[in-house]
């Protein structure tokens, strides 16, 4: 399992994380699948609709997911996952992330340390929802 992010796509994710700090940012990943590789060609910035604990949590409403699915379909792409940031925490999924994730999707997480994006790692939830498996991020 691999997730291919162009330098431009990765730059958009990192810029979004920097701008939203100290809150978590979130967005949708659009692209194509080629065997075991997902190629992300577009990202959509989404609003973190949490009203509390935005430094540690994010929420994407079903309406935003539907909008992302429609944009993907209109562009001839697939909705392949959702990225978010972890302000001043590692780029590793939390228990909250596991409880709210769905199998199939890719979940890149970018760690933001004192306002500066650092490590970016991606994860997929196991089918039995017991935990995540890391997927390799490549360019």
Q: Give the model confidence (pLDDT) of 34-90 as tens digits.
A: 999 999 999 999 999 998 998 999 999 999 999 999 999 999 999 999 999 999 999
- How many domains are there within the chain? 1
Q: Residue 114 belongs to what H/E stretch?
A: none
> CA 139 to CA 137: how far, in whole Å?
7
Do the Cβ atoms of 48 and 85 come closer than 8 Å?
Answer: no
Task: Quickly state the pLDDT bin for 130 (edges 50, 70, 90).
Answer: very high
Do the Cβ atoms of 79 and 104 come closer than 8 Å?
Answer: no
Q: Which domain holds residue 128?
A: 2-138
Q: What's the pTM?
A: 0.96
CATH of the domain at 43: 3.40.140.10
């Amino acid at each position: 399992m691999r997730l291919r992010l162009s330098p431009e796509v990765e730059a958009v994710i990192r810029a979004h994380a920097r701008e939203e700090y100290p809150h978590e940012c979130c967005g949708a990943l659009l692209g194509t699948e080629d065997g075991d590789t997902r190629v992300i060609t577009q990202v959509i910035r989404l609003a973190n609709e949490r009203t509390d604990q935005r430094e540690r949590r994010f929420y994407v409403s079903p309406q935003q997911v539907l909008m992302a699915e429609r944009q993907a379909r209109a562009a001839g792409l697939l909705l392949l996952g959702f990225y978010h940031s972890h302000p001043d925490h590692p780029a590793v999924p939390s228990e909250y992330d596991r409880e709210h994730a769905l199998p199939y999707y890719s979940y890149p997480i970018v760690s933001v340390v004192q306002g500066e994006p650092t490590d970016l790692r991606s994860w997929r939830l196991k089918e039995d929802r017991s935990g995540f498996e890391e997927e390799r991020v490549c360019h």
